[in-house]
Amino acid sequence: MTTENPSTEVQLASAQKELARLKQGAINAGFIQVSKMYIAEMTDLAQRAPSAHTVLWTLVQQMNKLNAVMISQDSLCKLTKLSSATVKRAVSLLREQQWLEVLKIGTANVYRVNSDVFWQDRADGRWASFHANVILNFEEQDELTKSQPRVRTRHLPLVEADDAVMPTVQPELNFHNATISE
């Protein structure tokens, strides 16, 4: 009995269908979980320090599955509609009360929300390294970037040894319209 190897196109189509099925049924996709034991403390934070509460929930909304987001102070101010001084005080309070930690990459901040309180993927978020969503805003860019709308750069994919390779279309970031297009 011989079995024929399916064509590459059939294998690719099968892999894409399986990936779509897994994404559709992904556990906790689109949800953020909160530990019940912190709800009273969150309510207290909202009442005593509403700006800190706003900053915390803004970071939670922007964080990735490993509870991290890299964002500038100016961008965080824009998202929260709070002044720079207010955001600094809020972040200081949130750090002091262990709602988040702030890690530095040069002069940039990476905010990692306490994974004992909030999580999206796993509740044991004690990771030594992590990926972060990086939030940029147009006003912080240099003049060359501002003056050249829709510049396309070359895309060189990085593939790890154990990665499954699937063709993708690189999204194009358009600061001028504040959208990501594919």
In a domain, 58, yes or no: yes
Q: What is the pLDDT of residue 14?
A: 77
Q: Is 80 within the bounds of a domain?
A: yes
Instruction: Identify whether the C-beta of residue 99 lies closer than 8 Å to the C-beta of residue 113.
Output: yes
Q: Is residue 156 part of a domain?
A: no
CA atoms of 113 and 64, how far apart (whole Å): 10
In a domain, 21, yes or no: no
Range of 61's domain? Answer: 31-123+130-139
Domain assignment present for residue 69? The answer is yes
Residue 95 lies in a domain: yes
Q: Which CATH number characterizes residue 70's domain?
A: 1.10.10.10
pLDDT in tens, the chain (182 residues): 445 556 777 777 777 777 666 555 555 556 778 888 889 999 999 999 999 999 999 999 888 877 888 888 888 999 999 999 999 999 999 999 999 988 777 677 888 888 778 776 554 444 334 556 677 777 777 677 677 666 566 655 555 555 665 555 555 555 555 555 44
Any domain includes 19: no
Residue 102 carries which side chain, given as an amino acid letter?
A: V
Euclidean distance between CA atoms 77 and 54, whole angstroms: 11
Total count of domains within the chain: 1
For residue 99, the 8-state DSSP code is: S
> What are the tokens at 26?
């992904």
d(CA 52, CA 133): 20
pTM over 0.85: no
* 153 found inside a domain: no
